[in-house]
Amino acid sequence: MKKRIILLLTIFSSIIFLGGCTPNGLTKEFGGKMTVELEPGNKLEEITWKDANLWILTRPMREDEKAETHTFYESSEYHVFEGEITIVEKEGN
């Protein structure tokens, strides 16, 4: 009986923990794929993590520039929990 209670508490706390995580945090901590679409007319400059928050630096797209897609991926030593974030730029109006 004690083992069942511990098992149920473990499952319940895991559901609460995972349910409270943002897609950013889940991708960073547990791997997986995530796509971020920038507002039209924005160009990606830089991307970085601050804890579980993803910070994206953008600037206005110049007239001679085209929209691009950027893929950032983690290559870990044991290839476990590797994450991938795709940033999609869109042409301005």
**CA 8 – CA 5 distance, rounded (Å):** 5
Task: Give me the residue spans of the domains in the chain.
Answer: 2-88
The share of the chain scoring above pLDDT 90, in percent, equals 39
- The 10s digit of each residue's pLDDT in 27-59 is 666 667 889 999 999 999 999 888 778 899 999
Using CA atoms, how far apart are residues 19 and 85, in angstroms rounded to an integer? 20
Strand boundaries in the chain, DSSP class E: 32-37, 42-50, 53-60, 69-73, 83-88
Question: Residue 92 pLDDT > 90, yes or no?
Answer: no
Q: Which contacts of 60-66 are long-range, i.e. CB under 8 A and separated by 24 or more positions? A: 60/92, 61/89, 61/91, 61/92, 66/91
For the chain, the average pLDDT equals 80
> Is pTM, for the whole model, over 0.75?
no
* Pairwise CA distance, residues 87 & 43, whole Å: 10
